Structure 1
Amino acid sequence: MDFTPPTTFAPQLDAPFAASLELLGEVPEERPVVLHVTECYDGGVRSVVDQVAASVPTAEHHLLYGGGPQPGPQAGYASVHRIRGGRLAARRDYTSALRRVRPTVVHAHSSWAGLTVRGFTGPRVPVVYQPHCFAFEDGERALWFRLATRSVERALTGRTDVVVAVSEHERRLSVDVVGHRRAVLVPNVPSVRRGPSTAPGAAPGPESPAVRPRGGAPHVVMLGRVCAQKDPAWFAEAARRTAAQVPGARFTWVGDGEPAATVVLAAAGVHVTGWLTGEPLERVLDSADVYLHSARYEGFPVAVLDAASRDLPVLVRPIHAFDGTGLARVSTPAQVPDAVVRLHRDEAHRAAALAQGRRVLEAMDGVLAARRLEELYAGMRAAPARRAAARPVGR
């Protein structure tokens, strides 16, 4: 396992960020009106969208969503609009939301929303595109699929004003591979409260409950959508191998998704909880001993930040999203049993892993993220034709 300290993982892109704002033009006097669009409003994407809206109170936030439960009033959206049906319905509902909301900027979250928004042929509204990872990074997909998805991303660069990337790796992909002119690093932040050992200024010693080796059999948890990107089959194999070598070991997957993949997890003895947020999610994380993130590609997952926030040592696969973080890594399911046992029972390994998690949390600066988004939204203005033609705001 790799416990080397992080060396390059720190959002230090103020100069490129300032340059990108300069290209966007003067800051308008009116309050920015932001329409967030996502076709997968659950899991990490839901957390990010809600956090963005909450962290930038200087803007008026509206939501057009599909694929998850309706947000509660605490989310604070000025209006909420539902995508009803498939891709054609998404285009229709997006057009309707534009007329009702009259946004100064549209913030598209994930690739399908990015296609819906940037493929729109009506009057242009400035677009912020946040991919939440690029599908062409999936090395286990067919070459034609990877080339096709990359070609689509490249074709839409001309209809993208700014890309919001959540890691330096994703920012480099946006510029160097896809060809975007402007990409801003806005780090993700946890969706749960900090535990006692990860609160700002905390420096847990060897007697901290988070550091002390655990008794009994280990409990391993994963958080995310049950889908190919998160690789539930890999997690299921890790669970089978660990259970065979470590009697009593338990594996839990927090999330939901593809029914067939959920069956694969259950067959391996993995308990699938469905989606949890807030205190229920915190309770599950607090009951665990190790967090294992099985995704085969990522932007940078909120789930890892949530686990680190609740004093869990984190294991990840060696994917580029985690370059420079120093998080402990396992390449194959066969390596998981030994890694879990060491993090569960060895005080030195557990303490080192917790320290790396705290460093990652410190680098993912929520104040920095909020400031960059606030300046980004303020620096964009809607096309006059769209603003003049739009109807009043409605729900």
Structure 2
Amino acid sequence: MRVVHVVECFAAGTAHFVNLLTRYTIGCEHVVIHGERLDEIKAELVKAKFPNDVTFIKWEGAQREIRPGHDLKALTTLLKILKGLEFDVVHLHSSKAGFLGRVACFMLGIKNVVYTPNGAAFSREDVSERKKKMYITLEKIAYKLSGQVVCCSLSEAQNYHKIGIDATYINNGTTLPQLSGVAGMDANEVKVEDVFTIVTCGRVTEQKNPVLFNQIAASFAHRSDVRFVWIGSGDEDQTCLLSSPNINITGWLPKEEVLATIQKADLYLSSALWEGLPFSVLEALSLGKCLLLSKCVGNVDLVRDGYNGFSYRTAAEAVEKIEWLLGNREILKEMAAHSRAWCEKDFDVEVVFKKYEELYQSLVLGE
């Protein structure tokens, strides 16, 4: 089968998701029609991480924000690209590509269409209620035109059900590293300093809620035995919000260093406002980390309170859980082991992404 992927936000988690699809749906040939976000990363750097047999086509004019004139040009360009290709299935990724892609497929009479939001726009907490209602209206219009909505988590699918859109889901997945083989961290290595390390990983943006992360860290600023690490960088105005002296912002690190840093940490913390099903948390799950996750779409699918960590709503709740874990290290270790076991069962990318290949086949066969 030949699958065409359409993605505007060719960066961060969405690009990683498409990359994994091209690697683990081995019965498919893949073409990626992509935009570019120069403020985040050049498309050439993203493409370099894909398998060599993937074909790429630049989608000129595609951009994140709603701008009717620009969007009409982007739609026209997408129509021309799709008309010139032969394929079996079109897979749309993210809200903007999901809307313009479904309009284009409707206009061209393309039936085999899949749409994966990977963080629905109407779930955003950094926009007004008026804008959320507009996003919901656009989702409903596009849903009536074409395509099957396949979310990346149960909670995201449930959000679609709440607005009257029928959606199913296939969990995001992650690779399962050999824990003793993570660069820089032997399984039997003992930490030199007795410092309880709490880590997160991701671009510093409003979505990841650095204000909340900083509030939690500031509550432990008086303690020399607790430190916080943020792997990544981002908007300068958002990064400035991570002002507590016990936060170390590492910037972006090579993949091996990211895994080693998370592996050495005692606890993985997410302060996100909304997610799809976050790959950064999935990696922490795969590395056997106890999790402390904000209660939001996506995060709630990856933590079971008291089993592999805790969820929380406020900084005070998070601080209370951290203090409890500091006094219950053996239970923390048990929770960490549960994370790895759960990941092996439900989030192994080699298993879950085969479901997309089965989905593509069912569309082609008309089942």
**TM-score where L is the length of structure 1:** 0.75
Q: Within the alignment, does 1:175 sit opposite 2:152 as a pair?
A: no
Candidates 282, 287, 295, aligned match of 2:264: 287
- Structure 1 counterpart of 2:55, one-letter code: S
Q: Give 1:117 deviation, angstroms.
A: 1.1
Between the aligned partners of 1:127 and 1:268, the Cα distance in structure 2 is: 49
- Residue of structure 1 in register with 2:143 after alignment: 157
Report 1 or 2 for greater relative contact order, CA contacts < 8 Å, sequence distance ≥ 6: 1
- Residue of structure 1 in register with 2:201 after alignment: 223
Q: Within the alignment, does 1:343 sit opposite 2:325 as a pair?
A: yes
User: Are the counterparts in 2 of residues 221 and 252 from structure 1 also a CA contact under 8 Å?
Assistant: yes
- Structure 2 counterpart of 1:123, one-letter code: L
Tell me, which stretches of 5 or more residues in structure 1 are unaligned? 1-31, 199-207, 383-395
How far does the alpha carbon of each residue in 1:262-295 deviate from its partner, in whole angstroms, 9 at most, with x for none? 2222566644344446323212212322110111
Q: Give 1:140 deviation, angstroms.
A: 6.4
User: Are the counterparts in 1 of residues 229 and 248 from structure 2 also a CA contact under 8 Å?
Assistant: yes
Between the aligned partners of 1:190 and 1:277, the Cα distance in structure 2 is: 17
Between the aligned partners of 1:50 and 1:240, the Cα distance in structure 2 is: 37
Q: Report the CA distance shift for 1:158/1:56 in structure 2 as closer, same or farther (over 3 A).
A: same
| Counterpart mapping for 1:96-107 below 5 A | 96-107=80-91
Between the aligned partners of 2:76 and 2:347, the Cα distance in structure 1 is: 37
Q: Report the CA distance shift for 1:166/1:113 in structure 2 as closer, same or farther (over 3 A).
A: same
User: Are the counterparts in 2 of residues 47 and 191 from structure 1 also a CA contact under 8 Å?
Assistant: no
DSSP 3-state at the match of 1:156: helix
Q: Report the CA distance shift for 1:293/1:324 in structure 2 as closer, same or farther (over 3 A).
A: closer
Candidates 42, 48, 61, aligned match of 2:30: 61
- Residue of structure 2 in register with 1:360 after alignment: 342
User: Are the counterparts in 2 of residues 166 and 187 from structure 1 also a CA contact under 8 Å?
Assistant: yes
User: Are the counterparts in 2 of residues 266 and 272 from structure 1 also a CA contact under 8 Å?
Assistant: no
User: Are the counterparts in 1 of residues 15 and 46 from structure 2 also a CA contact under 8 Å?
Assistant: no
| Counterpart mapping for 1:112-191 below 5 A | 112-120=96-104, 122-125=107-110, 126-138=112-124, 141-180=127-166, 183-191=167-175
- Residue of structure 2 in register with 1:51 after alignment: 20
- Structure 1 counterpart of 2:292, one-letter code: L
| Counterpart mapping for 1:269-288 below 5 A | 270-276=247-253, 278-288=255-265
Q: Give 1:316 deviation, angstroms.
A: 0.5
Q: Report the CA distance shift for 1:166/1:115 in structure 2 as closer, same or farther (over 3 A).
A: same
- Structure 1 counterpart of 2:46, one-letter code: Q
DSSP 3-state at the match of 1:265: coil
**TM-score where L is the length of structure 2:** 0.80
- Residue of structure 1 in register with 2:66 after alignment: none
Identity %: 24
Candidates 232, 237, 240, aligned match of 1:263: 240
Q: Within the alignment, does 1:241 sit opposite 2:219 as a pair?
A: yes
Q: Give 1:331 deviation, angstroms.
A: 2.2
- Structure 2 counterpart of 1:357, one-letter code: S
Q: Structure 1 residue runs of 4+, over 6 Å off?
A: none
- Residue of structure 2 in register with 1:27 after alignment: none
Q: Give 1:50 deviation, angstroms.
A: 0.9
Q: Report the CA distance shift for 1:286/1:358 in structure 2 as closer, same or farther (over 3 A).
A: closer
Q: Within the alignment, does 1:315 sit opposite 2:301 as a pair?
A: no
- Structure 2 counterpart of 1:129, one-letter code: Y
- Residue of structure 1 in register with 2:9 after alignment: 40
Q: Within the alignment, does 1:80 sit opposite 2:56 as a pair?
A: yes
Q: Give 1:105 deviation, angstroms.
A: 1.8
Q: Which moved more, 1:317-326 or 1:61-70?
A: 317-326
